[in-house]
Amino acid sequence: MSKDALLASLRGQCGGPRDGALLRYALGNALLEAGDLVQAGEELQHALRFDPRYSAAWKLLGKARLAAGDSAGAAVAWRDGIAAARGRGDKQAEKEMTVFLRRLER
C-alpha cells in the first residue's frame, strides 16, 4: 500500500467506530514518516486525548516535535510521557524517553 493510500485509509476511519488512540497513533506515525510534522503532532495529541497514558504516543509526539525544531515541546512531551509510562509500569518506554530527554538537554 502506498503512503498516500495508507494515509487516506487511516483518515477515512477517523470519526467512525474504530476511532481511538491506536488509530490516531497510527495516523500520526504515518504522517511523521511522510514528513508532515505539524499534522503528525496534531494526530498524536488527538491520540493522547483518547488515552493520556499511552506512552508510545508521548514518545512519538516528542520525536515529531523535535523533528519540527521544537526542542522545548519535545522535552515537555517526553517528561509527560515518562510520567505516563511510570503510571502504567511501562519501564521500556520510560527508559527510552529518559534517554531522549537526556540527549536533548545536553
pLDDT tens digits, 56-87: 999 999 999 999 999 999 999 999 999 999 99
Contacts 24+ apart (CB under 8 A), 95-101: 96/59, 97/55, 97/58, 97/59, 97/62, 100/59, 100/62, 100/63, 100/74, 101/75
Q: What was the pLDDT predicted at 21?
A: 97
C-alpha cell at 72: 522545548
Tell me what the pLDDT averaged over the chain comes to.
Answer: 96
Domains of the chain listed by start with CATH number: 3-105 (1.25.40.10)
Q: pLDDT digits over 18-68, tens only? A: 999 999 999 999 999 999 999 999 999 999 999 999 999 999 999 999 999
Q: What was the pLDDT predicted at 38?
A: 94
The whole-angstrom separation of Cα 79 and Cα 62 is 9
Q: What was the pLDDT predicted at 74?
A: 97
